[in-house]
Amino acid sequence: MQKRITLILSLSLLLLACSEEQKKAPIKKIIQKVAPKKTDIEPIVKPDLINNDNVTEKLLAYGEENPETILDIYTTYGKLRVKLYKDTPLHRANFVMLAKKGFFKGSVFTRAVQHFIAQGGGTSRKEQVEVKKGIGSYTIPNEIKRNRTHKRGTLGAARSYLSNPDKRSDPYAFYFVEGMKYKKELLKHYEMQNNYTYNQKQIDYYTKNPGAAHIDGEHTVFGEIISGYNVVPKITVVETDSREWPRTDIFIDSVVVIK
C-alpha cells in the first residue's frame, strides 16, 4: 500500500514538472516579411552646361538654329545697333545666346578708357551670376583673323592674359573700340613688342583713322557698330576709379536680337 502511494506521488510530480516545462517553452511566432513598396523616383537630370570640352560643338549647333547677326544694345547713354560677323561663328552664336537668355539685362560697363575702349558684360551682379549657372563655365577658342582688326566702332571679346597662350575669349565680356590714330613709329614699336606684323592696309588705316592697333592679333573681333556709335565716347569720358571702372554705373538695359 505504501509503495502504491509512493508511486502515485512520483507520477504526479513528474506530470507537474512536464507541465511547468511546457509553460516555460517560448512561443514561436511566424512573422510574414512584407517587401517595401516600390516608389517611382525621378532621375536627377543634370543641366546640359557648356564647358571647354564641348564649347565648339555646342556653339556651332546653337548658331545653326539661331543665325541672327543684327542686335540692338540699349544703354544709359542711348542705343547702339551692332552687326556680328558670320566668319566668327563661335563668338557670334555666343553673343546671340547671351542676349536671348537675358544675360546682359541690368549689367554694367566695367571699364572705360578714353581713346581706347568701353568694356561691358562681364559683371558679377546677382542677375548675371544666376544666368551663368544655367549656361556653364568656359572660354571660347579664339577666332582672330587678319581681316578683322580693331577699327573704331568694332566689337571685340575680352580675355585673360594670364595662363592663356591660346588667347581664348571670356564668353561674358566684350568691348567697343574708340581708339586713336597711330604714327608709323608707334606701330613699329608694337610690332616688336607683340611679335606682330601690320600689313600695308592696316598701316594706312591706323595712320589716318582711330583704332586700337596695339591689340590686333591679341583679341577676337567679332562685330561692329552700324549705328549709334556716338554712345561710345560718352562712356569713355566718365570718371573712373583706379581699376578704370566707372564711378557711376552705366547700365546695359537690354540687348535685343533683331534679325
In DSSP notation, 184-226 reads: HHHHHHHHHHHT----HHHHHHHHHS-B-GGGTTTS-EEEEEE
Q: Give me the residue label for grid cell 557648356.
A: 50
Interacting residues of 182 by C-beta distance below 8 A, sequence separation 6+: 206, 207, 211, 213
In 2-21, which positions are buried (b, 16+ CB within 10 angstroms) versus exposed (e)? eeeeeeeeeeeeeeeeeeee
Worst-scoring range by mean pLDDT, 35-39, 45-49, 202-206? Answer: 35-39
Per-residue pLDDT, 127: 85
Q: Is the confidence at residue 35, as pLDDT, over 70?
A: no
Highest mean pLDDT: which of 2-11, 110-119, 124-133?
110-119
CA pair distance 108, 158, nearest whole angstrom: 15
Burial class (CB in 10 A: 0-12, 13-18, 19+), 83: middle
CA pair distance 177, 114, nearest whole angstrom: 10
Q: Is the confidence at residue 6, as pLDDT, over 70?
A: no
Cβ neighbours of 163 (radius 10 Å): 5
Superfamily of 55-181+218-257 according to CATH: Cyclophilin-like (2.40.100.10)
Per-residue pLDDT, 123: 77
Q: Give me the residue label for grid cell 517611382.
A: 40
Average the pLDDT over 115-139 and give the result.
91
Q: Is the confidence at residue 172, as pLDDT, over 90?
A: yes
Asked if 201 and 233 touch (Cβ cutoff 8 Å), the reply is no
pLDDT in tens, 72-91: 999 999 999 999 999 999 99
CA quadruple 34, 35, 40, 41: dihedral sign = positive
Portion of the chain with pLDDT greater than 90, in percent:
78
Q: Is the confidence at residue 121, as pLDDT, over 60?
A: yes
Question: Predicted confidence band at 27 (pLDDT cuts at 50, 70, 90)?
Answer: very low
Q: Average pLDDT over the chain, rounded to whole?
A: 88
Q: Is the confidence at residue 132, as pLDDT, over 70?
A: yes
Average the pLDDT over 9-24 and give the result.
46
Domain boundaries, the chain: 55-181+218-257
Q: Is the confidence at residue 22, as pLDDT, over 80?
A: no
